[in-house]
Structure 1
Amino acid sequence: MGTDTGFDVVQAVLSAEPISVDQAIAAVESETAGAVVSFSGVVRNHDGGKHVMRLSYSAHPSAHQVMADVVAALVAEHTPGHGTADAQPVRIWAAHRIGMLEIGDPALVCAVSAAHRGQAFEVCSELVDRIKARVPIWKEQFFADGTVEWVGAGG
């Protein structure tokens, strides 16, 4: 899936099906990559001092496009210089779950491969931050005391 930008955008989607770091890593590995960095944001059993039982994620109809746009913008900003000896492709994979998730389920999984670790860490960190800040996904938290709380994310 090479492009003339030096990046491969392997995947940037919302998924009703389970996602995994192993899946993400396998998608971005390549012979030119000296580093593969992954992130898995999992459902934890607490928030704000309250015991969480499970979560449900809902997405705005534009969420898929916003996520693709976030990845495309990141790609454009990190395009390596053309014609340089070190211009190796970077591969990006990102998926966010929607629907009901249990404690320990991955909600956001990202992986980035690059020739060098510094770039892989930088791109993966920025990718996670932008997805969390910009993609219109809302989290409904179900607490052990029977209360429910909506938490806005993105847009």
Structure 2
Amino acid sequence: MSEIDRDGLADRYWEKKPMSALNQREWEALCDGCGKCCLNKLEDEDGDVALTRVACRLLDDTVCLCSNYAMRHEFVPECIVMTPKTILDHLYWLPQTCAYRLVHERKPLYDWHPLVSGDPNSVHDAGVSVQERTVSEINVHEDDWDDYIIEEPT
């Protein structure tokens, strides 16, 4: 029998189960809450992806969560649903610190990841999130996004 943590998830389940076997709760718990996937990205002709601090209009950067996650596709139809089946299609633009990327690449999660630290704020305390560092896409014209290119917080 596996050890169960206080959230009812098996201890270090992401190291023991293939991504395809994760249930919805386990899958969602992999998200560290950094908010970087909600930043608009620019891709050049070589396929290189640059991160901007221009965030999706639904990102609440005080908590680094979508302000309307359940209905996000009604407001942002292009929002990508990341699943074990779609991860390969989108791996190239996932942040380097993203747990979905790390688990797919069979790398360990960082110590600041909430599943490891047990603290949902550890991602912010470590300075890895985009907490209070974004500007809404509503306020920046798409032609000006290149003025907001940033290095990924790591």
Larger Rg: 1
Same fold by TM-score, threshold 0.5 exceeded?
A: no
More helix by share: 2
| Structure of greater relative contact order (alpha carbons < 8 Å, 6+ residues apart) | 1
Q: TM-score, normalised by structure 1?
A: 0.24
